[in-house]
Structure 1
Amino acid sequence: MADLKFADSHNLAILLADPPVAHGEFKSMIHGLRKCCLTTALTVNPTIYQGVFKAFWRSADIKKGEDGSVSVEATVKGCKIIITEQFIRDVLKIDDQSTFPTEIEIDQVQEVLNKMGYEGEFPPTMKKLLPPYWRFLAHVFVSCISGRKSGADEISLRNTVAIISLAAGLSFNFSKFILDELIVNIKGKTRDKFLMYPRFIQVFINE
């Protein structure tokens, strides 16, 4: 993975300050994000050291335990880094549980999207067809939490499920979501492999 590229628009931190008066309609969303299970993951903003960050991805591999558990392991400066679902949950202070799902029935997703005022056909979900209030949430999730680079208007089903779970207060395993995204990047099942999750990887290494 030594030739993977870094995307400046990916895995950004957000400042959850009150919006300007002219955009007061987003105030309740900001307050909700301050209290949600992803607050630390959204806002943590460590100094990223490119050398150790790239060393992680050069050596990252998938390991399976005898109990069927899956982890991502890498070696940075002679130190082994082991990332499990629980490790992600603990370090990023995500208030979810291993029993929570990462998939939701399509009909339920459609129902929540309808309540959010989505104006298009589903699937796929197009960010521009969400009302501004919920479009902001979708943009924050894709930019700060999703394993994919931001910018594309089309939101994957996996990301859509996570976003509507936040919007509707549904149980969702965000820790496993992040681990799965790491694994997908290692497996190379996507055409745009890159040096992903710079903030999260740095926090994991620091820990």
Structure 2
Amino acid sequence: MVAFLTKTEGNDDFADIVDFLNASSIRYSLTVNPTVYVSNIKQFWSTAKTKTANNETQIYAKVAGKSVVVTESSVRSDLQFNDEDGATCLTNVEIFENLALMGYERDSDKLSFEKALFSPHWKYLIHTILHCLSSKSTAWNEFSTNVASAVICLAKGQKFNLNN
């Protein structure tokens, strides 16, 4: 999904978080909107095979008669993450401490978090990351320690390895 990070009359209250996201290291990956044809997707997956070379998993496929190789590093490069040397996940203590600083009030040590317990600005940021960059396995109103770590690192200006 693509984020539209523009300021309009209807989202005046979110102008500062839109500015923050536009200046962030993940802006490109949130807003890139390439044209992808269903026929190309079908061709890709009907011919896709995985191989491991030099300890890296690679997907080999054909699209429009051309060979395509997809690797983790090619995805990082294409989405301009520049996050290979970033943190992969914060400790539970770091997560709880930092989420508390962001106004999150937790009742338990549960390791899934609820968007509803944040201010509208943090909800917007979390929502954007969930929809654009996350592989969801829970409800849309909840997020995991991985997403929590990404939000915290983004807020603190630290690199976070989004692919792990």
1:88 Cα offset (Å): 1.8
In structure 2, the partner of 1:86 is 73
Q: Distance in 2 between matches of 1:135 and 1:70?
A: 35
1:80 Cα offset (Å): 2.4
CA-to-aligned-CA distance 1:161-189 (integer Å, 9 cap, x gap): 22222122222122xx1xx5xxxxxxxxx
Change (3 A) 1:61 1:147: farther
Q: 2:88 aligns with which of 92, 99, 102?
A: 102
Question: What value does the CA root-mean-square deviation take over the aligned residues?
Answer: 2.3
CA-to-aligned-CA distance 1:125-183 (integer Å, 9 cap, x gap): 11111221101001000111112389621212222222222122222122xx1xx5xxx
SS at match of 1:94: coil
Using the size of structure 2 for normalisation, the TM-score is: 0.84
Equivalenced residues, count: 162
In structure 1, the partner of 2:35 is 47
Q: Greater relative contact order (Cα 8 A, min sep 6): structure 1 or 2?
A: 1
Q: Map 1:27-176 to 2 at 5 A.
A: 27-65=15-53, 67-96=54-83, 98-120=84-106, 121=108, 122-148=110-136, 152-174=140-162
Using the size of structure 1 for normalisation, the TM-score is: 0.69
Q: Distance in 1 between matches of 2:60 and 2:101?
A: 41
Change (3 A) 1:57 1:109: farther
Structure 2: which 5+ runs fail to align?
A: none
In structure 2, the partner of 1:186 is none
Q: Which has the larger radius of gyration?
A: 2
SS at match of 1:62: strand
SS at match of 1:64: strand
Structure 1: which 5+ runs fail to align?
A: 1-11, 181-207
In structure 2, the partner of 1:25 is 13
